[in-house]
Amino acid sequence: MKAVLFPGQGSQKVGMGQELLESNGAGADLLRQADAIFDGQLLPVMLEGPMDVLTQTKWTQPAIFVHSMALWREHQPDDGFFSFTAGHSLGEYGSLVVADVLSFEEALYLVKKRGELMQQAGENQPGTMAAVLGLDDETVESICTRISRDNHHVVPANYNSTGQIVLSGHISAVHEAMELLQSEGAKMVKELTVSGAFHSPLMKSAEAELATAMDEVVFRPANMDVFSNVTATASRDPEELKANLLSQLTGSVRWTQTMEAVHGLGVDSITECGPGVVLQKMWKRSYPETTIEPL
């Protein structure tokens, strides 16, 4: 069985989409369609940057999503080729498109709104994130729980692979957790360059408006099993997928658990659809025997 995965923030690079545009095929058409929705501002950021603009959440999210969907439009295999799909954080929107839960236009509307709301939430409620390597989940979770209190929250935001977790929360809380995790023997603790504390309670202010936007589009039954980040379980039910997508805004990305679930179903071939090789590296770290390649 085969699964297709879609990456999230962190996969962006200046120049993304250039080859698709030069091919002048279906992918180029989709890139131009998306650029028009952004009044001609999206493609210049994707192609020319600069990187400090591309890494702004309001640009990063639509850029990665649009690039992933353009790749899919250009190279998608015959119907029925994949049995499962999953996306890391933002990538979950790509999964919902390939499973026919949302159209490209509907998902882009939500991604655009999500990026704007998350950037605004990060500006209104400053926070940070940090990567932690070499500790088990329970140790990281215990320290986060122990030090969190009012206006001093830190949570595991991304379970990326075994022994690799990303923390998110108030700056003071994340810094305190980093010191404690280093003393616990973490192999590496590194603060990330981000514009907000994603997948944490600090994104709560974006929730209501994103929920309103989601109510403006129709979520349809999926044509393949879609894994949700917050549950690491698969569903085809549109209301369940919609609720999980909203919960993802403040909830943890359980990617380690998702990979485990997909692998446990007997998936022996993985395709990553998007810029970069982030998800391929995560998968190979946990399941090196599985065939995995870019689309």
Q: Kindly list the structural domains of the chain, giving each domain's residue range(s) and its CATH number in brackets, ordered by start.
A: 2-123+202-294 (3.40.366.10), 127-195 (3.30.70.250)
C-alpha dihedral, 24 to 27 to 30 to 34, nearest 10° = -100
Per-residue pLDDT of 179-194, as tens digits, reads 999 999 999 999 998 8
Q: Which of 108, 117, 26, 18 is nearest to 66 (CA)?
A: 108
Confidence of residue 55 (pLDDT cuts 50, 70, 90): very high
Residue 141: other Cβ atoms inside 10 A:
16
Contacts 24+ apart (CB under 8 A), 188-194: 188/131, 188/132, 188/133, 188/134, 189/130, 189/131, 189/132, 189/133, 190/130, 190/131, 191/128, 191/129, 191/130, 192/128, 192/129, 192/130, 192/131, 192/166, 193/55, 194/9, 194/122, 194/128, 194/129
Q: Which residues are catalytic?
A: 89, 199
Q: What is the mean predicted confidence (pLDDT) over 211-226?
A: 97
Task: Using a cut of 0.85, tell me whether the model's pTM lies above it.
Answer: yes
Say if residues 111 and 161 touch (Cβ distance below 8 Å): no
Tens-place pLDDT, residues 104-146: 999 999 999 999 999 999 999 999 999 999 999 999 999 999 9
With cut-offs at 50, 70 and 90, classify the pLDDT of residue 250.
very high
* 9, 276 contact by CB (below 8 A): no
Instruction: Name the pLDDT band for 195 (thresholds 50, 70, 90).
Output: confident
